[in-house]
Amino acid sequence: MHGVTLAEIQAARRRIAGQVTRTPLIRSATLSARFEAEVLLKLETLQPTGAFKLRGVVNMISALLERYGQQALAAGVTTASTGNHGRAVAYAAARLGVPAIICLSHQVPDNKVAAIEALGAEVRRIGDSQDEAFGEVARLVDEQGMTLIPPFDDSLIAAGQGTIGLELLDDAPDLDQVLVGLSGGGLLGGIGVALKASRPELEITGVSLSRGAAMHDSLLAGHPVEVEEVASLGDSLGGGIGLDNGCTFALVREVMDSHWRVSEAAIARAMVELLEDDKQFVEGAAAVGLAALNEHELDIRGRKVALILSGNGVSLETLDQARRLAGR
């Protein structure tokens, strides 16, 4: 059981109101014409931390404060992250005056490390994978009494991300399909619960990296498995789902209707196209929906389709790399 319900997502919406941006859903004229469809872009890039992760973090911290009071966070909060989640935890902790230690693997780009440190959190670089970084998180929780804010595998986190689904229904109630980056599963799972509660026929499409796709490999195996974490333009989609995953594995299995994997070249092309044609500055993980449409020539003619532009945590150096790979 994953424990994420429509009622929890509605409660999350009330908790995060005023603390998280209600992001716009805009029509892409270029993509709509190319695919002969109504293609909409959900701009989570406009969150204060530049990514959707703030929704889940604010929901979880707010819920903990409601239940246990300020004393629950007296020792501070900690997490491991591929970057965006850590930035969200640092931002929320700074606003609440709570100490924060963010553990990152050496795979996380330096620009994301700097963004977290700029918010006042302590950063610890541990190992070459998110799972290794979580070893330090476990020690901080056990020895220092810090509170873990998990990046995805928690019903409060997934419910916070699910508020995106409620906003999609408000702005495009006749939506046919949503393409969502798939990694730990909190984003896709939360959105899926919110949308399918009223539109069970709506297609939820996950998009993963071609290599190091932990959720993809776990779904094929029928249980959580470990994968080797590799460098990617879509680095936010890297990392494991945890062998003891208690929420998002079941959640993704329940709500996801279709799934595609995309190459580095396809991610690069999509990043460049979104910048040049739609003036959207996005990281690789935010471009995978368009990458799937391009690479797999998905037929969406006549449909209303939303792409979740999940974050903007990309350096100019990485964008130049994407341009070269895309031959632009």
Q: 193-221: per-residue pLDDT in tens?
A: 999 999 999 999 999 999 989 999 999 99
Is there a single domain that holds both residue 269 and residue 241? yes
Are 262 and 290 in contact, with CB atoms under 8 Å apart? Answer: no
Tokens of 153: 């595998």
What is the tens place of the pLDDT at every residue in 262-318? 999 999 999 999 999 999 999 999 999 999 999 999 999 999 999 999 999 888 899
Task: Considering the candidates 42, 53, 112, 196, report the single residue annotated as catalytic.
Answer: 53
Is there a single domain that holds both residue 38 and residue 130? no
Query: 93: domain CATH number?
Result: 3.40.50.1100
Is there a single domain that holds both residue 190 and residue 311? yes
pLDDT of residue 231: 85
- Tell me the average pLDDT of the chain: 94
- Does a structural domain hold residue 80? yes
Q: Active site includes 129? A: no
Q: Where would I find the beta strands (DSSP E) of the chain?
A: 25-27, 38-43, 77-81, 100-104, 122-125, 147-148, 177-181, 203-209, 258-262, 304-309
Is there a single domain that holds both residue 99 and residue 176? no
Of 148, 170, 204, which closes a domain?
Answer: 148
What letters, b where the CB count within 10 A reaches 16 and e where it falls short, cover 269-298? bbbbbbbeebebbbbbbbbbbbbbbbbeeb
Of 96, 114, 148, which closes a domain?
Answer: 148
Question: Can you tell me the distance from the alpha carbon of 94 to that of 110, in angstroms, rounded to the nearest whole number?
Answer: 21
Tokens of 228: 């080797």
Q: Read off the pLDDT of each residue in 242-263 and give the average, rounded to a whole number.
A: 96
What is the tens place of the pLDDT at every residue in 128-147? 887 788 889 999 999 999 99
- Does a structural domain hold residue 194? yes
Tokens of 177: 């399909």
Is there a single domain that holds both residue 131 and residue 252? no
Beta partners for residue 25, in sequence order: 42
- Does a structural domain hold residue 1? no
Task: Considering the candidates 129, 155, 210, 310, report the single residue annotated as catalytic.
Answer: 310
- Interacting residues of 265 by C-beta distance below 8 A, sequence separation 6+: 325, 326
Is there a single domain that holds both residue 159 and residue 256? yes
Residue 228 banded pLDDT, cuts 50, 70, 90: confident
Lowest model confidence (mean pLDDT) among 62-66, 144-148, 177-181, 235-239: 235-239
Question: Can you tell me the distance from the alpha carbon of 308 to that of 286, in angstroms, rounded to the nearest whole number?
Answer: 7
Question: Can you tell me the distance from the alpha carbon of 7 to that of 181, in angstroms, rounded to the nearest whole number?
Answer: 24
Is there a single domain that holds both residue 123 and residue 161? no
Percentage of residues in the chain having pLDDT higher than 90 = 79
Domain span at residue 108 reads 54-148
- State the CB neighbour count (10 A cutoff) for residue 114: 11
Residue 1 banded pLDDT, cuts 50, 70, 90: low
- Does a structural domain hold residue 209? yes
Q: What is the DSSP code string of 276-322?
A: HHH-----GGGGHHHHHHHHTT---TT-EEEEEE-B----HHHHHHH
Is there a single domain that holds both residue 172 and residue 37? yes
Q: Active site includes 310? A: yes
Coil, strand, or helix at residue 80? strand
Domain count, the chain: 2
Question: Can you tell me the distance from the alpha carbon of 29 to that of 37, in angstroms, rounded to the nearest whole number?
Answer: 10
Question: Can you tell me the distance from the alpha carbon of 287 to that of 282, in angstroms, rounded to the nearest whole number?
Answer: 7
Question: Can you tell me the distance from the alpha carbon of 288 to that of 270, in angstroms, rounded to the nearest whole number?
Answer: 7
Of 95, 115, 148, which closes a domain?
Answer: 148
